[in-house]
Structures are given as structure tokens and as C-alpha cells.
Structure 1
Amino acid sequence: MSNKKSLGLVLVVLGFLLLALTGVRTISSPDIFTHIALGQAGGVSADPLSYTMSSQPWIDMNPLYNSMVSFFWNLGGAGLVTLVHVLALLAAFIMMLRFSKEWGGPVSQGLALLLCARLLVPVFNPGPGIFFMLFSALFLTLLYRVKNFNLLAVLLMVLQILWTNIHPSFLFGPALILFFAFENWQKTRNASRTAMVTPLTTKLFGLSVAALLVTLINPNLINLHRHIFSNWLVLTGKENIEWVSLFGQFFSQDFFNNLTRFALLLGAGGLITLQKRLPTMITLLALTGAILSVISPDMTHLFAFLAFPFIILSFNAVSEYLSRTLTMVFKTSDTMLHDVLTVITLILIVISTGSLVTNRTYTHIGSASRFGLGIEDGAFPVAAAGILSRADFPKNILNIAHDGGYIALKAPGRKIFCDTRTSFYGEEFYKTLDAALRGQPGAWKTILSDWNPHAVVLNGCWPDAGALANRLISSGVWKLVYFDGATVILVRNLPEYETLIKDASIQSQGVAILEKSRTDYLEQSKGFVKAGNPARLIGAGGIYLALNRPQEAQSFYEALTQNSPKMAGAWLGLGQSLILQKQLSKGLAYMEKAADITPRNGRVWIGLFQAYQLKGDDNKARNAADQLNKFYKAEKATVEQQAVKEQKRASTKSAEKPVQNPGTAPEMPTQLK
């Protein structure tokens, strides 16, 4: 084997290694826990997890996947679950590479793997969506490699039934057969110069119909299809609950957005520079992926997969065009560009791999995950799970969707308020919950009257957790019983919970866990391998700041800004904590750093508007007000933030400064002071 061929093979192998390492991360996405909990519950017609939907008909869209992932969880825990999904991802891309090798050499393949891996970084999470890739790749492999039609039909029907019971994208199976039939018809027409339909084309159309019919083989029959069509916006990620992480909005996503644009422009370049007829299947797959990426950023992983063959084609076509141009204009060797691209690709893959394994990538994009296996403890109520299982803990709890699946898995005897099954709970349910948690009186009364929760379990990283905790504690109706940064637990101030409320041991436990997390974070951040984004510390800073404890908040935010300088939320919190300590100029400087990192974040501009008003800088206050008008979303604001918005309107008319003193801190348990 020549040196060039050997180096080309190295590029492809390293590309697949990078792709695999992209998935080797601690679990910080909540969906997988809901699937495991449903698998543990077994096949039931009523919802086994929540008390809010116990009487509602439930359509399980992933029955086989839930059972499968539950099996792997019992066998090897979170690590095995992650590895199974990584292997499925690798298998899918390997099959797609074999399907598209004729359209580009090793350098184009290596570049395509690098680009797809980078696109996958923010959105890869263990979940049934990975099996969309696997089944799509299996369908394509069989369609192009199995020549016996009867055998092909049997294999595809079996796969279609499995696909139907694993992921709601199963209707893409019949679509792939239609794409293949259309490609077959097009080839026949080009060969004979007539628009004839061959017997094979007819059979393929019939096979597509048969594949559609066997999708009825599922526990819900046609009701599954109805549910999918009525909730297609939710299922395509149009109405997603969170992006990257609960605190992802406080990190710049410019690199990822630009990378997606580059991939789309690269595809356009391939269309223009390719000197052959466009391959029908590869083009249709890329077009489908591009449409999904435009619908929702959450679909970018599917875009990366579906467009992978076309990305190979595009890199090859564009590089050949550039090579021809350079040869003609500068009289250079036609292999020069190939050699340069080979070296660049190798360097970029090595750099990307190093950035992943040292956690720099996760830190920069705002992910709560780190390189490795297991659960990211700070992203879920891991340390608080034992408290939730106590006999004296209230029966009805109020939790955000992010934590629901984990609580259901770790406390199977306890019913949760909700989880991330967006198509099941429905848009109105989440809107009511969101409005209630953000302090809207009518929505909060609805939650209390309809469900009567006696405990609130908050994720500290939810951006408005601190405001809600402050509001509930200040009311005197609720008592704070546990806080460890990652989790805040409040219960009704009732006699039946007196033992729980006065249990100093659980209060001390939370503080000890938080302090250890801070110590570990500071120690781990000294080395070459970074500690990532510590969800527990991020949550602690926000909670302390909302409870008007700026010195404690400052200590956390200083640690965060020192080790994660691209975290706008940490700069914002540090600035606000200093302003509360009457260090206005220094605090403003830090808050302006937050605006530089995330200039489209309404929360940042609310803080800056208040600070400029306090300083008396009318010009900058007006500019902050203009930015606030652009990016403020009333439906996503707490009642406190809405009050600031009203203050802005009033100040625009009367030029009166709003009162900035947040008041006294609510009473906290002694152990948390």
C-alpha cells in the first residue's frame, strides 16, 4: 500500500474515532431516564410515571426501545447505555460511508467525518433518535446490496416493524423505498430515453406500500400514526424544552451556527462544481436533512447523518474544482491541494479530539456533560434522591420536566408532576406550568387547585429557580429543606412535615455536597484536562444571588469566570452580586462582558438596564432598553423581570429611576446561612 493510501486510511480511521468520542460523554440530557423508567414499568396503557396524567390515554411511541434501554441499564448502568448508542452511531455512519465511497476519496471522507462530528457535539444524546440513523442506514444497505427481491422484501418488513416500535420516524422507511424506486425509474428512463416503468420499479412501489401497512403492527395500531401527525411540530424539535443544557442560553452558539451554515454552503458548492449527474438518493437524503436542520437546531444530528454522503461528494467536487483552477492559474501540481488538505484534515481531527477529551469543547458550547461515561450528577437530583424516597416526604411533588424522568427512575414508587414527553403532556400543560413557575398568579393558583403539590423540587440550573425559591420562601407558606446547588427542595409549612423541615442532617448534607463540589472543581481546573461546566456550582450561584446573598454568589461566580471565561451567565451573576455589594462600576464591567458573549440574551439586557439606571447613565440605559425591546420575551419572563420591563416603559416616559434595592433576604435554615 502506498504512503498516500495509508495516510488516507489513517484519516478515515481517525475520523471515525472522533465520531465515537463525540458520544463518549457523561449523560446530562433528561430524555434517556424517562425511557428507562418507562421500560422498567413495562407495557401499560395508562401513564405509569405521573400523577397529573394518570387518567389520560397514553401513546407509547418507543415501546421496544424503552424495554431495550432498560435492559442495558440493568445490565451495565449509564456507561453501557452510552456505549450501545455510540456503537449504533458508528454502525450507521460506517454503512453510509460504504454507500457513498464512490463519490469521494479518503480526504473527502475524513473531512466529512470531521464536519459531521463537530455538528453532532451539541446535540448528541443517548436516545431513540440514534436508531433512526441505524435503521435508515440498514434500509439503504439492503436496497443497494440485496439483489433477491423476495429476500429484500422480507428483511425490510422485519426492520420496518422493529423501527415502528423504536422511534416515531418509522415513516421514513417507506419513503426511502420510494426514493430508491424513483432513482430506479430515473436510471431506466435515462438508459432507454423513455419514461417507462420497469417491473422492478413497480415492485418497489408495492414494497413501499407494504412497508407502510406493517407499521400498523404496534401496540397502538393506527392511533400511533394519528398521534405522530397531530404532534409533528413537537416531535421534530420545533417546540424543544432546552438547548444543549439548562444553562446553554448563556453561551455563544455562533461557532455551531456558522458550522451549520458552512455545511449548507458546502452542499451548494457541491451542486455547482460537480461535473457528473447528481445521484438521486444522496441528493434527496441531503435535502431532507437540510429541511430538518432549518425546522429546528435539535435536528442537526439527523442533518449531519443524512447529508454525510453528500458532504463527501461536495468536499470532493469543490476540491477537484479548486485543484483544476490552481493548476491552470499557477501552473502548480494537481496533487498539491490534495496534500495540503490531507495535512489540514489530520491537524483538525487531532485538535478536535484533544478538545473533546480535555472537556474544552463541552465548556465552550455550554454543555453540562464531560468526556467519559456515567451520569453527570450535578445535572439531576442525584444527591437528593434519598430524600425524595423518605416515608415522610410529601406525596405530590412539583418538578420541572428536566428532572421528571430521573426522579421516576430513582424513586419508582413516587409519581412525578411531569417529564420530557412533550407530545404526551401537550403545549398548554407546559405553558401553564411555565407561567406558574415564573410567578403568574393565575397559573400558580391553577397548579395548586388542580394538583395540590406539597413539595417543590427544583433544578438549580433552571434559570428562574432562584426567583421561584425566593418567592416561595418569602410567602411563608413554603419552607426550604434541602439545597445542594443542583437541587432545591421546598415543602409546605404544615405540621405533618415538621420532622422533615427541622431535620438539620439533610440541610447539612446539601451544604457539604456543595462545598465538596466547589473544592473538586477548583482542583480539577488546574490541570490540562478541564472540569467542564459544573452544573451544581452554576445553580448555587443563581440561588444565592436570588436569595440576596451576594457574597456567597460572588465566590461561586468568580470560580466559574476564572475557569470558563465564555460563560455569560457567570459574568452576569458576578456583576449583579458586586452591584448588590455597592461595587457598581466593577459590576457593570462584568455584566458588559456577558453582553459581549451573548448579545441577544434578554436576561443580560434586563440586568444591564437596571444597572445603568442605578448609575444614572441615561444613554446606555436607553441603548439597553432598545436591546431589551428586541430580545425580551414576555412569555419566558418571571414576574420580577416583567416588572423591570414595566419600569423601563415608565422610565422612558418620566425619566424616573426605579428602586433597585432587592430588599431583605428571606429566612433560610440555619445550616444554609
Structure 2
Amino acid sequence: MNVKFIRFIRFIAFLSLFTLVVFLSLFEINDADTIQYLASGKYIVEHGLPQGCVFTYTTQHCEMVYPEWLFHVIVYSVYRVGNWVGLGLFQLGLNCLIFGIILLYNYKRKYSFLSLSVFFLLGLIVASDRSKLRADLPSLLFSTLLFIILESFINKSSVTKQKIILFYGGSIFFLMMLWANIHGSFPLGYFVIGVFIFDRLLTNLKSRFVNHKKTKILDERAKILSAFFILSLIGSFINPFGLKSYILPYRFLIEARHINYISEFQSPFIQVNSPRFSLVAFKIMESIGLILIVLSIRVTLARHMLLYITFLILSIQQVRNLGYFAIISMLILPYYGDYFLRRVSVLFTKYRNRFIIFAMFLGNLGRLSMILFTVVFIYLIVTQKYYFFEKRSRRFGFGLSQIVFPLNAVEFIKKNNLQGNVFNSYSFGSIINWSLYPAYKSSIHGHLSDPLFFNYYSRVLNDPLFYKEAVEKYKIKTFFLNYAEPNTFLLVRYLYSDPDWKLVYLDPTTVIFVANIAEHSQVIKEHAIDLKTYPLDKPFAFYKNITKVDLITMHSQIATFYYNFGLYEKALVEYQKALTENPQNFVLMTNLGRTYVNLKKYDEGENILTSALKRNTRYDVAHFFLARIYQIKEEYGQALEEYSKTLKYNPKYKEAHFSIGEIYLQMGNIFQARREFEEELFQNPNHALAREALQKL
């Protein structure tokens, strides 16, 4: 095959990998933390460094700004120069820098294209979950640079030259100083350096006691690495907040239990109905990595194994650590991939020439496949199909996401000059701080670190009476809520039924309630909403230039809103609109099916739920409502079969055991009915109907 052609294909393959980095990094600003950075950065530029919480009226524990203050200022400065496009380009630049460095590092290490490309691609997809403009994005850059600096130092043939020591030591000092002023993950730097020290000591111990060489355990390299560790401690202590910033990451680890309901603090293995591609890539990379390290155990470096296993464990515990695992894997695993390939090639020594020809053919086929894959992937990103399939709010392009941030609701608050303190959903705190401060302060936001108030906030959402105490305590006169946020809808329903509050704003994500007081008489007169008579198209009137993908999400969310209020005819219309735009979506089919059940249109419900299960046979909700239809039709055999499948795919599905108990009761099987009611009560102790059924038995 022509050498120039092979080189050209190799170049295009590498270019396609980097191009994929670009397209995966170009998306609208959709993270609440980025908006909080803007608010905090603006405050710091205009007023100086904050001491305590300036954005909220409920508590003074907002200390998460301390290790991140510099990044807040940088983000705000970029926004002032380039607006939302500037922030998008900044996000793109950081990602290109991180992955460009990794690609260049692996290329210079002369890894095979197969090992390099496979782990780069898997790592890129895994890290894409964390590629948004947050303070942990530059921390991924610092992690990458620190690893490469230490690897370069440990592999130097000589380290006694003063210039080399000063270069590496100075680089680590400066890097750790930046890290400690940009993100609270800087203690990871200590761990990485500590692993390299441990690896060096272990190597020296092996040389001395196993290989019987006259090796100093604490040799020159080990001493210099220890000096690097001390420099990293000193560098990370340089922060305008001093000790507060230094100890905050450790306090956060201790006190962070109150935020375990936030998705990024949960395990990637928590059950989801349609796993993200990034999590599938994570599982593949995890499995391949462990297999390669075990198969290469004779040459596995202790530092590589410790780093890989540690970041793997951290990633299994919390989604937010996936980026670190991806970075370490991309830097480490190609070495072991190549070692495995060399071992395989030895098996074919007898057929060396044929094997070389076959390997070259596979290599070129792999490069062409990689190019084709990236082209298809980029097409799916640009057309939004990738993000929609994964049920993400991320959208390719520049700007601020209108599906995530309640921009129209914010304008409504400004225009109508709503009075008093605002109680907001957790996800809305940052937009209040950015768009409405200082006229309004938030009740809660992402940089609030008060466990007591998190518990208080949770009680307000879940206790039908407790919100009244919060209203009195904090002089709340407006509720600004994301009804699509978990655990929010119960409060929305109680506010709507409370005559002291009036619903004045509704869109596909947001509701605003105002106190029924004289100061709000005008806004209530002009905007009060009766859900039964409110026009279906009115919530969408606030939006312009809605994409097809966003329109599907909006119809689905407001349909669920109507469903939860028992307005099933309205919910039916909205679900049908969403399904018309996305007819293959099994979740939408299921929601439409359960709406038919509540409207007593059982045949229509059975048809649509059966279609949903053809697309996802493991979807527990569809099995449950199909079982409910069979139960109503008194087709008990089929009902029991569907309820069993519900529990098979979700053993803790609420109501399933109770419904099975009802069927056994109808069939005269008292013993089995009792067991099912008891199991329901065991899983849901407050289930009144199950308790009542047991008392009757």
C-alpha cells in the first residue's frame, strides 16, 4: 500500500479525534454553577473578596467560593469581553488544551494507533460529562499537567542538574498555587505526588531486598519528589482566604452528606432507564483497564495501578469524579494496551510476515473506521440527536440554555416588581444571584454549604405545613419553583390549593406563586392562573425560536405538570404533541399510556404501553400500568405476570406489592394477599391502604 496514503490516513484519523473534541465541547451554557461564577465574579470585581454569604437571606454559610474565587473572576472577565459566545469559546479552549496535551503526550510516547485511539476515544466520551464550564474543568487540566510533569521527571536519565530540579519544582509550585485558587480538588495533587513518592520507595526496596543491589531506599529522586510534595503544600497555601480556603475541601468531604441527592454526587451505577453513552464508555474502559493491568501485572508500575484503582473507586462513588478517571486512564492505559499487543504478536512469531501484513491491514481498517465513527458522531451532535437520545439538556451551539434557565420567569419578576423575599428551587438560585441581585436574594443556591438549611429546605418541599413556618420565619412573599425538579411538585400542589397564594406564572419548567396581599393585587389581577381554563398554548408564548428537541422536552414536562394535578385531558394533549415529534420514545409512550389509564381509556392505554415495552422490555413503569389495566379488566393472570416483571426490574416499585395483594384477595388467596400487603408496608411504612387491608384481614 502507498506509504503517502497510509500517512495521510493516519493524519486524518488523528485529526478526526481532535475534531471530535471540538464538537463535544461546543454547547450552550447549561450549568447553574457557571451562572454562579458570573454572579460571584461580578461581586468580587465590584466589591472585593466576599466574607460570608452575600447572595442569600437564609444563612451565612456560603464558603465554597474560597478555593474558586480566581476562576469566578476569570469567567466573569471572559463574559464581559465576549458575552455568552466568549464563554462558549473559553469552554472550548480549555477542553482542547486538556485533550490536545493528552493526545500529544501519547503520540510522543509512540504508542500504537490502536491503543492510543481506543483509550482516547473512550476517555473523551467518559470525560464529556464533565467538559462543561465549571471550576473542575481546569482542575482536569492541572491533573493532566501534574501527571505528565512527574512522569517526565521520574523517567529523566539524570536529575542532579540544578536547572532541571528548579524547572520541575517551580512548575509544580506554580501549578498547585493556581489549582488552590481555582478549584477545591487541589488535595488530589498531594495524592498524585504521594503516589509517585511511594512508587519510587517501592522500586528502591525491591532493588535492594529482591534484586540484592546496593540501592539507597531514600535515593536522590525520592528526596527530590519529597521536596516537590512540600512545595505543593506551600504553593496551595497561597490564597487570599488563607487557612479557610486550605481546609475547606476537607470540611466539604465531611459535611457533604446533605447533598447526596444531587445527581453529580451519586454513583453512575444508580438505576437509569436509558444509560448515557458516557457511562457505557466508562464501564467498557473500567473493564478493559482492569483486564490489561491484571494481564500485565509483571510490568505494571505501582504508581499506575494506585492511580487507576483510586480514581476508579472515586468514579464509582460519584459521577463528578468521572473526568479524573478518564484523564488518568487516557494517560496510563495505552502503555498496557501496547504491552498486551506485543505479547499477542509473540504468539505469531512463526507466521511473522503474514502477521505483519494482517496487522497493517487491521490498522488501516481501524483508522478508516475511526474516521467514519467520528463523522457520524459529529453529525449526531450537530443535529442535537445525540443529546436528545441521552435525555440531556445540553445543546450544540453558543448561548445560554433557555430549557435550563428560567429567563422569561426572571423577566416576569423584574417587570412586575414582586415584593418580599423569594423562596426558590435549588437549581434557580444562581440565576437569581446573577440576574436579580441585589434587588432580590436567593433562599438557596449551589454554593451554599449549610447542612442545616439543606435539611430545612427539604422539609419545606416535603412537609405540607412546614412551608407556612418558612414563610413567617423568612418573610417570603414569592415562590419561584422548578416543578420538574425532584421533590418540588408536592409544594407546588399545596401552594395552588392555598388561598393565601396565587399562581401568576406558568411555563414548561417554572411556576411563580405570589402572596395574596395588597402589594400583589395588580399582578394577581392581570396574571392569576386557573389551570382548568388556562389555554394550552399560553405557557409556550414566552419562548422564541424553540428547537424541535426543546419543544419535545417542554411538551413532556408541562404534560407531567398537568398529569400531577389530575388534569388528564390536558396532559393527554401535551403528551401526544411530544410523541408526535418523537414517536419512538418509550418514556413518552408510557406517560401517554398511564394518562389513558386515568381517563379509563383502557384499550388505548394497553396498545401504547405494549408498544413502549417493545422498545424497552425492562421499563418498570410501563409494566406496572399495563398490569393495572389487566387488573381492572379482571385478567388476573396477565396482571400478575406484569406486576412480577415490574418488581423484577425494580424490586422497590411503590404500589406493586399492594396491587398484587389486591389481586390475591379477589382470587380468595388470603395468605398470599397478607404477605404482599406486609411486604408493601415493609417497603413503604406510611402506606395507609396496605395497613387498612391488613387490619381487615
User: Fold match, TM over 0.5?
Assistant: yes
Whether 1:104 and 2:87 are equivalent positions in the alignment is: no
Q: In structure 2, what is the equivalent of residue 557 of structure 1?
A: 575
TM-score between both structures, scaled by the size of structure 2: 0.80
Q: In structure 2, what is the equivalent of residue 425 of structure 1?
A: 450
Q: In structure 1, what is the equivalent of residue 177 of structure 2?
A: 161
- Asked if structure 2 preserves the Cα contact closer than 8 Å seen for 1:119 and 1:304, the reply is yes
- Asked if structure 2 preserves the Cα contact closer than 8 Å seen for 1:108 and 1:315, the reply is yes
Matched position secondary structure for 2:66: coil
- Asked if structure 2 preserves the Cα contact closer than 8 Å seen for 1:400 and 1:418, the reply is yes
Within the candidate set 379, 384, 406, 1:381 is matched to 406
Bigger Cα displacement from structure 2, 115-124 vs 378-387: 115-124
Bigger Cα displacement from structure 2, 324-333 vs 157-166: 324-333
Bigger Cα displacement from structure 2, 69-78 vs 222-231: 222-231
**Superposition pairs for residues 233-248 of structure 1, below 5 Å?**
239=260, 241-242=262-263
Decide whether aligned partners of structure 1 residues 260 and 599 sit closer, same or farther in structure 2, where only a CA change above 3 A counts.
farther
Within the candidate set 72, 86, 96, 2:92 is matched to 86
Q: In structure 2, what is the equivalent of residue 490 of structure 1?
A: 513
Question: Aligned AA for 1:403?
Answer: F
Matched position secondary structure for 2:512: strand
Q: In structure 2, what is the equivalent of residue 297 of structure 1?
A: 319
Whether 1:630 and 2:651 are equivalent positions in the alignment is: yes
Q: In structure 2, what is the equivalent of residue 583 of structure 1?
A: 601
Whether 1:434 and 2:452 are equivalent positions in the alignment is: no
Question: Aligned AA for 2:503?
Answer: L
- Asked if structure 1 preserves the Cα contact closer than 8 Å seen for 2:502 and 2:513, the reply is yes
Distance of 1:244 and 1:356 partners within structure 2: 26
- Asked if structure 1 preserves the Cα contact closer than 8 Å seen for 2:140 and 2:323, the reply is no
Give the Å deviation of 1:645. 7.1
Decide whether aligned partners of structure 1 residues 152 and 58 sit closer, same or farther in structure 2, where only a CA change above 3 A counts.
closer
- Asked if structure 1 preserves the Cα contact closer than 8 Å seen for 2:197 and 2:222, the reply is yes
Whether 1:152 and 2:158 are equivalent positions in the alignment is: no
Matched position secondary structure for 1:481: strand
Whether 1:260 and 2:287 are equivalent positions in the alignment is: no
Within the candidate set 423, 431, 434, 1:398 is matched to 423
Within the candidate set 125, 139, 143, 2:132 is matched to 125
Per-residue CA shift, 1:295-325, capped at 9, x if unaligned? 1123212211121122323443445555566
Within the candidate set 9, 12, 16, 1:10 is matched to 12
Decide whether aligned partners of structure 1 residues 233 and 603 sit closer, same or farther in structure 2, where only a CA change above 3 A counts.
farther
Question: Aligned AA for 2:30?
Answer: S
- Asked if structure 2 preserves the Cα contact closer than 8 Å seen for 1:395 and 1:454, the reply is yes
Q: In structure 2, what is the equivalent of residue 448 of structure 1?
A: 471
Whether 1:64 and 2:89 are equivalent positions in the alignment is: no
Within the candidate set 235, 239, 260, 1:214 is matched to 235
Bigger Cα displacement from structure 2, 617-626 vs 599-608: 599-608
Distance of 1:616 and 1:398 partners within structure 2: 47
Give the Å deviation of 1:156. 2.2
Per-residue CA shift, 1:429-450, capped at 9, x if unaligned? 3343234323x23543453343
Distance of 2:476 and 2:205 partners within structure 1: 66
TM-score between both structures, scaled by the size of structure 1: 0.83
Distance of 2:687 and 2:397 partners within structure 1: 46
Whether 1:172 and 2:175 are equivalent positions in the alignment is: no
Question: Aligned AA for 2:594?
Answer: Q
- Asked if structure 2 preserves the Cα contact closer than 8 Å seen for 1:183 and 1:280, the reply is yes
Distance of 1:559 and 1:136 partners within structure 2: 46
- Asked if structure 1 preserves the Cα contact closer than 8 Å seen for 2:79 and 2:86, the reply is yes
Bigger Cα displacement from structure 2, 591-600 vs 485-494: 591-600
Question: Aligned AA for 1:296?
Answer: Q
Give the Å deviation of 1:129. 0.7
Per-residue CA shift, 1:640-668, capped at 9, x if unaligned? xx999726635864899xxxxxxxxxxxx
Question: Aligned AA for 1:397?
Answer: V
- Asked if structure 1 preserves the Cα contact closer than 8 Å seen for 2:64 and 2:447, the reply is no
Q: In structure 2, what is the equivalent of residue 663 of structure 1?
A: none
Decide whether aligned partners of structure 1 residues 187 and 510 sit closer, same or farther in structure 2, where only a CA change above 3 A counts.
farther
Q: In structure 2, what is the equivalent of residue 664 of structure 1?
A: none
Distance of 2:261 and 2:78 partners within structure 1: 27
Distance of 2:692 and 2:551 partners within structure 1: 38
Matched position secondary structure for 2:185: helix
Matched position secondary structure for 1:377: coil
Distance of 1:594 and 1:237 partners within structure 2: 36
Bigger Cα displacement from structure 2, 122-131 vs 251-260: 251-260
- Asked if structure 1 preserves the Cα contact closer than 8 Å seen for 2:654 and 2:684, the reply is no
Give the Å deviation of 1:532. 5.4
Question: Aligned AA for 1:429?
Answer: F
Decide whether aligned partners of structure 1 residues 99 and 4 sit closer, same or farther in structure 2, where only a CA change above 3 A counts.
same
What is the root-mean-square deviation of aligned Cα atoms in Å?
3.9
Q: In structure 1, what is the equivalent of residue 36 of structure 2?
A: 34
Q: In structure 2, what is the equivalent of residue 660 of structure 1?
A: none
Per-residue CA shift, 1:31-75, capped at 9, x if unaligned? 111121111111110212111124776762311011111111222
Question: Aligned AA for 2:453?
Answer: F
Per-residue CA shift, 1:577-627, capped at 9, x if unaligned? 323332123225545666787888887777667666655555536537746
Distance of 1:647 and 1:593 partners within structure 2: 34
Matched position secondary structure for 2:173: helix
Per-residue CA shift, 1:444-465, capped at 9, x if unaligned? 3453343242211112432555
Within the candidate set 556, 559, 573, 2:591 is matched to 573
Distance of 2:605 and 2:361 partners within structure 1: 53
Question: Aligned AA for 1:277?
Answer: V
Whether 1:476 and 2:499 are equivalent positions in the alignment is: yes
Q: In structure 2, what is the equivalent of residue 199 of structure 1?
A: 220
Instruction: List runs of 5+ in structure 2 lacking aligned partners.
Output: 154-162, 656-682
Give the Å deviation of 1:237. 11
Distance of 1:501 and 1:250 partners within structure 2: 41
Distance of 2:183 and 2:481 partners within structure 1: 30
Distance of 2:476 and 2:445 partners within structure 1: 16
Matched position secondary structure for 2:446: coil
Matched position secondary structure for 1:176: helix
Per-residue CA shift, 1:363-401, capped at 9, x if unaligned? 111101111111110211111111222463022111111
- Asked if structure 2 preserves the Cα contact closer than 8 Å seen for 1:553 and 1:577, the reply is yes
Decide whether aligned partners of structure 1 residues 222 and 520 sit closer, same or farther in structure 2, where only a CA change above 3 A counts.
closer
Decide whether aligned partners of structure 1 residues 338 and 191 sit closer, same or farther in structure 2, where only a CA change above 3 A counts.
farther
Per-residue CA shift, 1:153-191, capped at 9, x if unaligned? 223222211110100111222333334444555666677
Within the candidate set 68, 74, 80, 1:74 is matched to 80
Q: In structure 2, what is the equivalent of residue 528 of structure 1?
A: none
Matched position secondary structure for 2:237: coil
- Asked if structure 2 preserves the Cα contact closer than 8 Å seen for 1:484 and 1:510, the reply is no
Distance of 1:38 and 1:553 partners within structure 2: 40
Distance of 1:317 and 1:504 partners within structure 2: 69
Q: In structure 2, what is the equivalent of residue 536 of structure 1?
A: 554
Within the candidate set 382, 391, 412, 2:437 is matched to 412
Q: In structure 2, what is the equivalent of residue 547 of structure 1?
A: 565
Decide whether aligned partners of structure 1 residues 432 and 135 sit closer, same or farther in structure 2, where only a CA change above 3 A counts.
same
Rg larger in structure: 2
Decide whether aligned partners of structure 1 residues 206 and 347 sit closer, same or farther in structure 2, where only a CA change above 3 A counts.
same
Q: In structure 2, what is the equivalent of residue 278 of structure 1?
A: 300
Instruction: List runs of 5+ in structure 1 lacking aligned partners.
Output: 526-530, 635-641, 657-673
Matched position secondary structure for 2:238: coil
Matched position secondary structure for 1:267: helix
Q: In structure 2, what is the equivalent of residue 337 of structure 1?
A: 362
Bigger Cα displacement from structure 2, 621-630 vs 169-178: 621-630
- Asked if structure 2 preserves the Cα contact closer than 8 Å seen for 1:408 and 1:415, the reply is yes
Per-residue CA shift, 1:239-276, capped at 9, x if unaligned? 2523699xx98751165443222111111232244497
Question: Aligned AA for 1:286?
Answer: Y
Within the candidate set 218, 223, 232, 2:244 is matched to 223
Distance of 1:542 and 1:214 partners within structure 2: 51
Distance of 1:279 and 1:631 partners within structure 2: 44
- Asked if structure 2 preserves the Cα contact closer than 8 Å seen for 1:250 and 1:567, the reply is no
Q: In structure 1, what is the equivalent of residue 335 of structure 2?
A: 313
